[in-house]
Chains A and B, each alone.
Chain A
Amino acid sequence: GQQVMQIPQYQHVQEGEDFTTYCNSSTTLSNIQWYKQRPGGHPVFLIQLVKSGEVKKQKRLTFQFGEAKKNSSLHITATQTTDVGTYFCAGRLGAGSYQLTFGKGTKLSVIP
């Protein structure tokens, strides 16, 4: 079945350092979404990428979708303690698919 691999599983950074998480799919994706889950909370939608090679920015967060639409990344510049949480990518196989396949997530810890 479709698999979405996400690395690293954990990342500890000093406040102010950058952070990147990577997502790879075994199959071409229609689109990919990113979610953030704060400790003890529920996943919250961050963004959706649809086009090959697409890059989107949200303040200090930069999201990329690979040219082959099989990989994606989330980069956070100058991390802050408010960035703590687990970041999930979720891929949609076909445009008409109702399902998302989630990666296992990257848990980010920020040391003040």
Chain B
Amino acid sequence: NAGVTQTPKFRVLKTGQSMTLLCAQDMNHEYMYWYRQDPGMGLRLIHYSVGEGTTAKGEVPDGYNVSRLKKQNFLLGLESAAPSQTSVYFCASRLIAGDTRNEQFFGPGTRLTVL
């Protein structure tokens, strides 16, 4: 099992450009999450999904869109990148409600710089 993978690992964008970050998991997890991590700010939830075809806003959703067309994939889109979106982006997945451990499995991260 590859676990949670993220593509790309690094990316540099110019202000106003768009891009999509891909997260894939092969653990048949129902729930998937996108976080951003900034120095001294911890992990902040951008959007999440509780199943194929569903998405919901997290703490900091502005400027981002997401889609979950397939259970194993969760895409994060930036329509018009801004320097404030420079960050490390982590995807995570979780099995399902009723899983007593409730563990979130994180991907390796995508380091995004917006110039």
Contacts and interface: CB of A to CB of B under 8 A. Distances in A.
Interface in A41-99: 41-45, 48, 88, 90, 92, 96, 98-99
Interface string B93-104: 000010001111
Contacts of B45: 99-101
Contacts of B101: 45, 48
Interface residues of A, number: 24
Contacts of A41: 108
A26 to B, nearest CB: 14
B43 A98 contact: no
A72 B31 CA distance: 25
A60 B41 CA distance: 27
A42 B48 contact: no
Interface of A: 1, 6, 9, 31, 33, 35, 41-45, 48, 88, 90, 92, 96, 98-105
30 contacts: A1-B59, A9-B40, A33-B102, A35-B104, A41-B108, A42-B90, A42-B107, A42-B108, A43-B43, A43-B90, A43-B106, A44-B106, A45-B105, A48-B102, A88-B42, A90-B43, A96-B97, A98-B31, A98-B48, A98-B50, A98-B56, A99-B58, A100-B45, A100-B104, A102-B35, A102-B44, A103-B42, A104-B40, A104-B41, A105-B42
